[in-house]
Structure 1
Amino acid sequence: MPPGDLTTFDAVYAHLTTAYPYPVLPFPSPNPHSKTLSHTIASLSVHPTLEALLHILNADLASAHFLCRHMQNEPAWEGMYIHGFLHRVEGDYRNADAWYGNVAESECFRSAWPGEAGLEDAKAFIRRVERLRKQKIGDVKELEVESQREVDALVGWCKEKFGTGRIEDATQVWVEPSEEHRKIASKMLVGGEGWRQF
């Protein structure tokens, strides 16, 4: 049961990142760590990018996916990046690769994966996570540290850009999906390597 004073983004973020490990391998259950916390996160009414990240940290991947689907086209680079991050957490590594590639030149991605080799480093990290999951090769603690670095950078970028105040009407954040995304969404399947395949 989460502590009672979780009324701000920073308090919820601190709780999630101390109560649970940073996400590396897919959570073995499709249920969140805490259903109560899922409600608390939604009640914060923060920018949807920050809400999606909190849901991911709470292993509430369905809620995170709902938000990401409304931010998966230009100019919502951060929403697209979070969608890729979500796929990595789900264990859907090919989709994570694709989303990371789509946002590789964006400021938000570069904040987490700087330098000329940013995309290469990110994809190498995805491969290391995949190898740990599928072949049991690698150090989960080392990968948690890298996941923490990525999450903290992405959260920091979104906090700086959007703040953590309440957004009562998030419809201004949503972007129209591209025709490609509409077609993919119409053929959504359950299964694949992770919880969902898109």
Structure 2
Amino acid sequence: MPKQLLAATSNRHKLVELRAILKPCSIECLGPDDVGGIPDVEETGTTFEANAIRKATAVATATGYTVFADDSGLEVFALGGEPGVYSARYAGADASDAERCQLLLERLAIHTDRSARFVCVVAVASPDGLIGTADGEVRGTIADAPRGTSGFGYDPVFVPDGFDGTFAELSASEKDRISHRGNALKIAVAAGLFDIQ
């Protein structure tokens, strides 16, 4: 029987990605709908780790489940690490993925250095407190224009090192194999963070 862990996310795209990555590890990834909902936790931390821990511990305490949460984002070196922890709110709280990508491309237009990285920190918590964290990243460059129709967020503008296509041009399984989130989850599994009763 697979282990059950609750993912502290209401992002349906992220939930699909998490389930695909964790299925081969015999981990059933529950979502908010599976447990009658989860509290909305404001991301007030100044680091990915602080936000992931805040979400995991708050949702574990509120639901009684062992929970994992991630905070992730894109860091563009020429922009001093922007959008960083503000990736989801970069162009405003109600902006679309396309609007966030467009703002990023506009701000990057005067720069020749287009190097960037996606970062993900996973935190695992039980109702008794934090179990641990793991982080992953993938490096790449920002494309001149959005390309591809798969994925979400900044996927249409991020070209991972060693590839010609953006994340949005890769298959879901190919992206999951190399992504920051996939890397962080693999490290969390290897470290035993998901070893629960």
TM-score, length basis structure 2: 0.29
Q: Larger RCO: Structure 1 or Structure 2 (Cα < 8 Å, ≥ 6 residues apart)? A: 1
Considering fraction of residues, name the structure with more strand: 2
